[in-house]
């Protein structure tokens, strides 16, 4: 049983000792982030159960793991309960690209609410530690910049993005209530825009769009005036941050992101420089409720757990080009 201790603004939890060959459940494990997490966990010897309904993920993302003795792939939808015996749960199952989560918004909300509740109940029964992959979207269109974890956000609860933003907010609420009510060992991370190899080609997020467009000779589609900002984190930094929080002594929430902030025009110019000097830009209408700016304050995770990102955007973009070229056949 977890022993909560409060030190003012952050809650501390007495941790269980690390055991060998622990059974780790990764929900959404066949997706972009989940597949990289499975790689890491399998390579260090954990027994990994990768659970996915393949809505946005694919078997190809984990095909190289299928013959490993410590890896198992299960097709399941987290909206339905599942009975498993595990020691740790990384709960990632949820579409993350606006294009995908708006496609069936009620399903997105059900995945966030019922999916998270089901996985918390599983964690409670197994006495497993549970980590929820929340998002910078809980800050909405932020009035505080950069965003600290203490900021409560500025979210439209009736907009087209609400299924995801409010979904993740209730997922965080359920996570904290499970800890308060039942002592379930929980961790919360708020992930900022992350990019890298294996992002779905039809993902619709800005980095994968620009890289695919630049590689296939199509103009890069900048939405709106392109002055909105995001802070882009390379996938290996996220995996390191995620595992650090899971194994650390504090619940969080922790921002996990790279504070390097770019406008969409600056991003397009960098893609042009790194990926294809002949790439061009076309301006298109922006989507509704698009946050104007986004940048993590990572003081909390840096001072508490010693994590900080290492890969700058220019280097990270170069690292995803080969994978995209191969999958695009160019």
276 contributes a contact to ligand UDP by CB under 6 A: no
CB of 286 to ligand UDP, least distance (A): 5
Among 264, 271, 275, 304, binds ligand UDP (CB under 6 A): 264
CB of 150 to ligand UDP, least distance (A): 21
Q: Contact 28/52 with Cβ under 8 angstroms? A: yes
Instruction: Between 206 and 250, name the residue whose CB sits nearer to ligand UDP.
Output: 206
CB of 280 to ligand UDP, least distance (A): 14
Among 286, 293, 323, 327, binds ligand UDP (CB under 6 A): 286
Residue 55: cis peptide before it, omega within 30 degrees of 0? no
- Positive or negative, the CA dihedral 84, 238, 133, 320 is negative
Among 35, 118, 209, 258, binds ligand UDP (CB under 6 A): 209
Q: Residue 116 corresponds to which tokens in the numbers above?
A: 């998270």
**Which positions are catalytic?**
164
Binds 53, which of ligand NAD, ligand UDP, none (CB < 5 to 8 A, cut-off by type)?
A: ligand NAD
The span from the CA of 320 to the CA of 304, in Å, is: 31
In 3-state terms, what secondary structure has residue 238? helix
205 contributes a contact to ligand UDP by CB under 6 A: yes
CB of 12 to ligand NAD, least distance (A): 25
Q: What is the DSSP letter of 16?
A: P
Q: Which residues of this protein are in contact with ligand NAD, per CB under 6 A?
A: 27-28, 30-34, 52-57, 77-79, 92-96, 100, 111, 115, 133, 135, 191, 193-194
Cβ neighbourhood burial of 289 (10 Å; 0-12, 13-18, 19+): middle
Instruction: Between 221 and 236, name the residue whose CB sits nearer to ligand UDP.
Output: 221
- For ligand UDP, how many residues bind (rule: CB under 6 A)? 15
Binds 31, which of ligand UDP, ligand NAD, none (CB < 5 to 8 A, cut-off by type)?
A: ligand NAD
Which string of x and - marks every residue 182-201 that binds ligand UDP (by CB under 6 A)? Answer: -----------x--------
Among 206, 214, 317, 320, binds ligand UDP (CB under 6 A): 206
Among 222, 239, 251, 313, binds ligand UDP (CB under 6 A): 222
Which residue matches tokens 């990384």? 90
Q: In sequence order, which ranges of 104-217 are alpha helices (DSSP H)?
A: 105-110, 116-126, 162-182, 206-215
Residue closest to 231 by CA, chosen among 195, 204, 209, 257: 257
CB of 190 to ligand NAD, least distance (A): 8
Contacts of 47 (CB under 8 A, 6+ apart): 21, 22, 23, 24, 70, 71, 72
Tally helices (H) and strands (E) across the chain.
10, 15
Residue closest to 96 by CA, chosen among 195, 187, 226: 195
Q: Residue 143 corresponds to which tokens in the numbers above?
A: 């009035």
Contacts of 243 (CB under 8 A, 6+ apart): 37, 40
CB of 3 to ligand NAD, least distance (A): 28
78 contributes a contact to ligand UDP by CB under 6 A: no
Binds 206, which of ligand NAD, ligand UDP, none (CB < 5 to 8 A, cut-off by type)?
A: ligand UDP
The span from the CA of 17 to the CA of 11, in Å, is: 19
Among 80, 85, 290, 315, binds ligand UDP (CB under 6 A): 290
Beta carbons within 10 angstroms of residue 314's beta carbon: 11
Residues within the interface to ligand UDP (CB under 6 A): 97-98, 193, 205-206, 209, 221-223, 228, 230, 264, 286-287, 290
């Amino acid at each position: 049983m977890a022993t909560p201790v409060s030190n003012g603004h952050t809650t501390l939890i007495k941790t269980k000792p690390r055991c060998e060959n622990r059974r780790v459940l990764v929900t959404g494990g066949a997706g972009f982030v989940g597949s990289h997490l499975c790689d890491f966990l399998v390579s260090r010897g954990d027994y990994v159960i990768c659970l996915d309904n393949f809505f946005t993920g694919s078997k190809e993302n984990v095909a190289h793991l299928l013959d490993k003795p410590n890896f198992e792939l299960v097709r399941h939808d987290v909206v339905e309960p599942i009975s498993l015996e595990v020691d740790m749960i990384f709960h990632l199952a949820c579409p993350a690209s606006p294009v995908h989560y708006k496609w069936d918004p009620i399903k997105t909300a059900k995945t966030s609410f019922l999916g998270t509740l089901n996985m918390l109940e599983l964690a409670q029964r197994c006495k497993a530690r549970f980590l929820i992959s929340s998002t910078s979207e809980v800050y909405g269109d932020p009035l505080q910049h950069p965003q600290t974890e203490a900021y409560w956000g500025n979210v439209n609860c009736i907009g087209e993005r609400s299924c995801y933003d409010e979904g993740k907010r209730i997922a965080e609420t359920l996570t904290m209530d499970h800890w308060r009510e039942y002592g379930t060992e929980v961790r919360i991370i708020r992930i900022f825009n992350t990019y890298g190899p294996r992002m779905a080609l039809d993902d619709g997020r800005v980095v994968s769009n620009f890289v695919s467009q630049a590689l296939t000779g199509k103009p890069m589609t900048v939405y709106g005036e392109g002055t909105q900002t995001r802070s882009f984190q390379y996938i290996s930094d996220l995996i390191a941050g995620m595992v650090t929080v899971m194994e650390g002594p504090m619940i969080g929430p922790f921002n996990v992101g790279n504070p390097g902030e770019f406008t969409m025009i600056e991003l397009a110019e960098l893609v042009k420089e790194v990926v294809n000097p002949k790439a061009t830009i076309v301006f298109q209408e922006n989507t509704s409720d698009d946050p104007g700016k986004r940048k993590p304050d990572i003081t909390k995770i840096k001072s508490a757990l010693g994590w900080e990102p290492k890969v700058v955007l220019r280097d990270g973009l170069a690292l995803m080009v080969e994978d995209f070229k191969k999958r695009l056949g160019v």
